[in-house]
Structures are given as C-alpha cells and as structure tokens.
Amino acid sequence: MARGELRIFLGAAPGVGKTYTMLEEAHRRAERGTDVVIAFVETHGRKHTQAMLSDLELVARKTVRYRGVELTELDLDAVLARKPELAVVDELAHTNVPGSRHAKRWQDVHELLDAGIDVLTTVNVQHLESLNDVVAQITGVEQRETVPDAVVRAAGQVELIDMTPEALRRRMAHGNIYRPEKIDAALGNYFRTGNLTALRELALLWLADKVEDQLGQYRADHRIDTTWETRERVLVALTGGPEGDTLIRRAARIATRTASPRSGGADLMAVHVIRNDGLAGANPATLARQRVLVESLGGTYHQVAGADVPTALLDFARAVNATQIVLGVSSRGRLAQLFSAGVGVTTTALSGTIDMHLVPHERARQGRRGRRMPAALSRRRRIAGFIATAAGLPALTGLLDAGPSLSLTNDILLFLAAVVGVSLIGGLWPALLAAVAGSLMLNWFFTPPVGRFTIAEGANLLALAIFVVVAIAVSWVVDTAARKTRQAAQAGADAQTLATVAGSVLRGERPLPALLERLRETFTLDSVTLLDSGTVIAEAGGPACTAPADADAEVTIDDHVTMLLKGRPLQASERRIVEAFAAQATLALRQERLTAEAAAAKPLAEADRMRTALLAAVSHDLRTPLASAKAAIASLRSDDVDFDDHDRKELLETADESIDRLIRLVTNLLDMSRLQAGALGIAPIDVGAEEIVPRALDDLGPPGRTVELHIPDDLPYLHADPGLLERVLVNLTANALRHSPPGRPPVITASSLGPRVEIRVIDHGPGIPADRWDDVFLPFQRLGDRDNHTGVGLGLALSRGLTEAMGGTLTPEETPEGGLTMIVSLPAVAAR
C-alpha cells in the first residue's frame, strides 16, 4: 500500500488564511471527485472559515475528559475506519490531551499517512522547533507547542500562505482574527508591524531553504552536474598556507559586492581538500586560524577528501551549486609547471560555467625553494646504509671472484639485490652510492675486458646501464615508501594527540584551561601561558610567563595573542602539533569570550522580555478597570439620566471595585519590581495562621466567603510578615476561585510538618500538567497561556517571590481526583 502524501500550508502568523486556503483546496479536490473528510478543523470563531466547512463531510470529534474538564480531540480511529482518500487535519503542532494514543497531532498525521490517506494540514512558522527560540526572542512569547522541522521538510508539498504585515493588521482591526476585546492588545503586542515583518522573513527564509534542498535533490536525481545560478555562492579554496588570509578577504569582498536578484548578496564558503593518503603538508594551526576568519566574515568552512585536488574541488563546488571559485596563483616554480599544470590551471580548464578568480599573492612565483624535504630515515639508519655499501659490495665482489664463474647477467642481479638491501637499510643516498659503486665493480671485475673500465660488447654496456637505472629507481621507490610511512606514523600520532585533546576539552566545563593543561602534560612542560597584548589571560602549571624572554618557546597565534611555553625548548617535529594546540586555544578563547558576552547580555534580554510582557499585559489590565471606573463615574455625573438609589449604589460599587483592582495591580507591579531589585522591606513576626487566613478571605469579598477553611486549634505559630503572607494567600485563593468548577469551592487547610507550618490552597479545577508546574511561576504567564493579552499573570510569580523572601517555599501539588494544590511552607515557632 502506497503511503499518503502530506501537504502543509505554512503561515508566518495566525490569521494569514492557512485554514481558509486549506479548506479551499479541500473543496477543489472534492469537486474533482476525491473522497474528502474534515478530520479536525479549528475555526476560532471566524465566520468565513466556518462557512467553508459546508458541503464537506465532518468526522465527529472524540470527547476526552481530563482533570474534570471535557476536551475534544481528533478521533484517529474513526478517520482510519472511514478511510477517505484525503483527510483535512488542522494545527499540526497541537499537543494532544494526556492519555491519547500519540502525544502530538503530527504523530496522528503520520499514522494516517502510513494508512495510505493523503493529508492537508497547517502550521505557523513559530511552531517549528528550530525557530522556537528565535521567535521567542522577537515576540517575547515562548511557543510551547512545536513540531520537528524534519516532519515539515518531509512533506510532499509546503505552500506558504503569505500576507503583508499591513494587510494582516487590517484584517485584525476588522475583527476577522480575534474577538473585539483582544484586538487592541494584540495589535500593540504580538501583531506589531516589526514582529510580523520578522516572522514573515523567517517563514520565507525557511521555505527558501526547503526549496533549495528540493532543487539539490532534483539535480542529484537527474545527474545534473552543471551549476544553476539560482543563488550566488563564492567558494575560496585553501591550501593551509599563509596566502589563505588574502584569498579569504578577497572572496569576502567579491561576495559582498555580488548582487543577487533573489538574496541580495552572495554566500561565502571556504574549502580545504585533504589528500586521500592523509599526508598533505597543510598546517593545521593556519587552517584553524583561517576557519575563524571565514566564520567572522559570515562564511562557512568545509573540508573534503580526494585523490585529485582539482577534481575534488570542482565536485564540491558543483555539489553546493557554487557560482564563483577563488584560487591563489600557483607558488610552484616554472620547472615544476613544465611537468604539471598545477591546481589553478587544471581547475580553470575543468570549471565549465563556474567563474574562476586567480588571485596573486606574495608567495606566488616563489617556487618551493624554501621547503626542505624531510629525511625518510633516521641518521643512524643512513650511516648504517653507507657502512653496508662500503663493506657489503667488496665482500660480494670477493665471493663472486673466488667462487664458480657465473654469467654477467647473474652478477648484475646479485649486485642489484645488494643495492635493494642497502636502500632498505639506509635509504636513497646510500643506495645511490651502492648503485654507482656496484656498476664500477661490475665493469672492472666481471665485464670483459676484465681489469679495465672499458666494455668490449654493446650488450654488456646495455646491461650495465639497465642495472644503474633499475638500481636508482628501486632506491627512489623504497626511500619514498619509507618517507610516507614515517609521515603516516607522525600524522597518526598527531591525530591521536589532537583526539585526546579534543576529548578532554569536550568533557571539561572550561575548554581553555583544559586545553592548556593537556598541552602542558603532553609535552612535559612546566607551564603554558596565553598572553593577549602582554596580559595573562590563561595559564596552566606555574609560574606563569609574563614576557617572551621568560619562556623556552613562543608560538604566535595572531597579532595580539601569544602562547609561551616553559620547561624545555620545542623540537622542530613538535612545533607543528603545538601550533595546532595554539589554534584550538584561540577557538576556546573566542568561545569563552562569546559565552561571557552572552551571559552579560542575558539579564538585558530578560529585562527586555519582561518589559515587553509587562506592556502587553498592563495595556489590557489597566484599560479594563479604568474604563469601568470612568464609565461608572461619568454616568453618575451625567444629567441626562436620573438614577435611583439602587442604580447609584451599583455604579459606585463598580467604580470602587475597579479602583481596588487597579490598586492591587499597581501594588503587585511595585512589589515585583522591589523583589527583583532586592529592595522589598520584610518585617517577620510570630503570627497564627488562624489570624492571617480569614483576613485574606475577607479581602476577596463575597467569593472568599465560599472557601472552606480547616485550621486546627493546636497549630503552631509561624514566623512571617503578616502583610506579605496575606498578599500571598489572596493571590493563591483568587487563582483557585477562578479555576474551581461550580459547586466545588476551594479548600484551605493548615498543618505542621516538623519545624515548618504548611498552608494548602486546594482547588478541584482542570489542574496543570506536572511538566508545566514551574511555568506558572514565570512573570506574565497565566497557566502557561501562549499570549499575555488576557491579563498580567503576576499573582503566582509574586506569591513565590514573597514566600521565598520570608524564608519559605511555594510548591504545587496535584489534587486527588483532579485539580491543583498550592503549598505554602514557612518556619514554625517552637511554642505558642
């Protein structure tokens, strides 16, 4: 059975028309003869959306009872049993009621798809998991219902329902999105023009990335190797040499100046090609520093492996759809270029439609004169090879001269074996000496006329020439193999050291000290010091070096940062790996500084979020009581209407209640500010719960008289500020009254538990899931609502702050048979 196809309608914000467009598509499919059912659609009271449900079959929702409240959910079994061709399922990111088959609605959708049913669904960009924190930073509202990006990316079709911020705000003002009482708050907060513009950009960019993935998949499926210039990408090739800095900056300037009709600029990418044998001579410290430079310029760094550098470079360029490649002019000498064209020339010849930039630099045309090929074998091995040549060849000559007579061919083969043996012992130069000496001995002792450096027959001359050539070739091959073996062993040791370093750093909480300590241990140093413009910023061991003159070795990382090592001088073979350590230290230093900057910015961001939420909430909660009080007072002052005593009393009560509400709101805000500033005055005394709790209930007016109260007579005194404790109980009880079902009022009990007194405020309302208990104590949250338009939501946050300021705790607990219990625990007094 074929799997169903998923089509998602993506929006930047509520109200852009996702559900309406989805229902339009459902009608079109039904008119074409497709069997369509409405599995779940949330109209949010919008009449135009409600009208679109006509003429479409609706599958009845499933009613689920949770914590005493009846909720409706998608009836998955009913849809599967109905088995339509197409099911319409709204709100992909929705969280199902606990106890449902699946925790998330997108999992329900997956089961429908597995059953071969096509699905139409909707999602807003703020519900995408990868963008959750970005949206929270922009809007000040954290979205708790999210859907993994992979689910949306896997959809067969994702259609963006786009609308300009101005048009969406007009739609909001006309009452087409929210109820009238929410419009002003929404327009002034979540639906601000800046928020909507940012969300729209996020949606467009996210969809552009998905389109790019689809394009890449299409090109791969159809084996399209040519570059399609849908987006400008500048790729700079790095060799690990010092010229890379020049190339990166030139590529960044090209990317900045390159105008793209779709993106407005070009992407910057850097790539280093590693030879498959892993023996390339790139400096890891230089590459690490250049990676930092690329990323600081807004680019990305990549490494690929390949046997042929031009081919690997072009394969990568075509895979990422690069439109321009920046290469350095070859630093190889003219003689070397006679035998090989070089990477730049070869890449240019094979680049096809990709634009090539060959950039000159200081090292261009300087050849490789400064490079010295490392010895393949140790000095002891080379000396042993010369000794073997000096002793072995005369010995072989004596044996052949004294033994039975052999043909010249056999003599040549024995001398060739001797040369190979010398090359295995001492490498290239002893083997070359053995080849020359062997040819002379063969000529003098075994080639007619014997005893003279002349050759009578041309065939013997050819044999000796072949001997010399083969001997030199074999010596070269053996020496090259030995050199690569040594390089591979060194590379393996370096890699093992770096892997050990990386593991120790990753396991540590502070990477920079761990890195320096590992460096000190690895190379048995007394101390390692990192200086920034002469100032010690990190050290391991001791005492720290404060100047290069105090150190045994110095590694310059950049113009400002230097690493000083004390204990012993570094060998030439060790400096390479130490430079890699230094490059990693730079990255660790950068990471620590970024972390410190982020930590310093976090309080500012939190304050900004609080300020945004405060404005969002206060704009509504201040307006409502002000409007009520003003309306009541204006009515009383009006001469147009004559009010009787009952009406006058009612208006005065309305004004009084509204002003009391304002006073509570302003008092809460001031106390929250004092709590955060640490300036709240507290005067704790020994007081009885039977005194405080009734006063708190009296403050609540008539609703407070419905609360059941159970306080034992022998309850110990508690140590608290009476005024603050009363405020805490008022907030908690008001919250319990608001969520209690009719006929089941809240209950307040008190008891002693060891050295503490616990006051419990119990309600039997819908309750809160345990994983969201901490959320209700966040300022400006109302039972985890996703917006702040329905009230300030300071009560529980303030209550916890006041309780903790008095040395107590405020914790939630599940009420048996459903509901929420708030427990205030305060120190008890030993005796009354």
Predicted confidence (pLDDT) per residue in 73-101, tens digit: 999 999 999 999 999 999 999 999 888 89
Give pLDDT, residue 33.
Answer: 93
Extract the tokens encoding 13: 């914000």
Q: Which carries the bigger pLDDT value, residue 249 or residue 137?
A: 249
Overall average pLDDT of the 706-719 stretch: 90
Which range among 608-617, 637-646, 654-663, 803-812 has the greatest average pLDDT?
A: 803-812
The sheet that has 36-40: what strands, in order across it?
57-58, 36-40, 86-89, 118-124, 6-11, 157-161
Give pLDDT, residue 668.
Answer: 64
The whole-angstrom distance between residue 142's C-alpha and the CA centroid of its chain comes to 18
What is the percent of the chain where pLDDT is above 70? Answer: 81
Q: Which ranges in 149-283 belong to alpha helices (H)?
A: 149-153, 165-173, 180-188, 193-221, 244-257
* 8 Å CB contact between 322 and 227: yes
Give pLDDT, residue 374.
Answer: 53
Overall average pLDDT of the 167-175 stretch: 85
pLDDT tens digit sequence for 450-481: 777 777 666 667 777 887 788 788 778 877 77
Does the N-terminal peptide bond of residue 779 adopt cis geometry, omega within 30 degrees of 0? Answer: no
Overall average pLDDT of the 723-738 stretch: 88
Extract the tokens encoding 207: 């969809």
Give pLDDT, residue 443.
Answer: 80
> Is the pLDDT reported for residue 569 higher than 80?
yes
Q: Which carries the bigger pLDDT value, residue 265 or residue 313?
A: 313
788 band by pLDDT with thresholds 50, 70 and 90: very low
Give pLDDT, residue 497.
Answer: 61
* 8 Å CB contact between 636 and 680: no
> Is the pLDDT reported for residue 428 higher than 50?
yes
786 band by pLDDT with thresholds 50, 70 and 90: very low
Of 78-82, 278-282, 352-356, 625-629, the range with the lowest mean pLDDT is 278-282
> Is the pLDDT reported for residue 783 higher than 50?
no
Between helix 309-319 and helix 343-350 the angle, nearest 10°, is: 40
How many other CB atoms are found less than 10 A from the CB of residue 162?
16
Does the N-terminal peptide bond of residue 694 adopt cis geometry, omega within 30 degrees of 0? Answer: no
State the Cα–Cα distance between residues 537 and 719, nearest whole angstrom. Answer: 49
Overall average pLDDT of the 223-247 stretch: 79
State the Cα–Cα distance between residues 163 and 373, nearest whole angstrom. Answer: 65
Give pLDDT, residue 832.
Answer: 54
Q: Which of 761, 762, 778 is nearest to 824 (CA)?
A: 761
Of 189-203, 441-455, 642-656, 745-759, the range with the lowest mean pLDDT is 441-455
State the Cα–Cα distance between residues 436 and 413, nearest whole angstrom. Answer: 15
Which range among 79-83, 312-316, 561-565 has the greatest average pLDDT?
A: 79-83
Extract the tokens encoding 330: 């070859």
Give pLDDT, residue 615.
Answer: 54
Give pLDDT, residue 263.
Answer: 47
Instruction: Calculate Rg over the CA atoms of the chain.
Output: 41
Mean pLDDT rounded to a whole number for the chain: 80
Give pLDDT, residue 584.
Answer: 73
State the Cα–Cα distance between residues 35 and 740, nearest whole angstrom. Answer: 44
pLDDT tens digit sequence for 25-67: 999 999 999 999 999 999 888 888 888 998 899 999 998 887 7
Verdict on whether the full-model pTM lies above 0.75: no
> Letter for the amino acid at 230?
T
> Is the pLDDT reported for residue 123 higher than 90?
yes
Give pLDDT, residue 369.
Answer: 45
* 8 Å CB contact between 3 and 116: yes
Give pLDDT, residue 610.
Answer: 53
Give pLDDT, residue 789.
Answer: 37
Q: Which of 528, 599, 525 is nearest to 557 (CA)?
A: 528
Extract the tokens encoding 239: 């060799």
Overall average pLDDT of the 652-671 stretch: 76
pLDDT tens digit sequence for 670-685: 766 665 555 567 788 9
* 8 Å CB contact between 364 and 330: yes
Give pLDDT, residue 32.
Answer: 94
The sheet that has 809-814: what strands, in order across it?
708-710, 747-753, 756-762, 820-827, 809-814
Q: Which carries the bigger pLDDT value, residue 128 or residue 793?
A: 128
114 band by pLDDT with thresholds 50, 70 and 90: very high
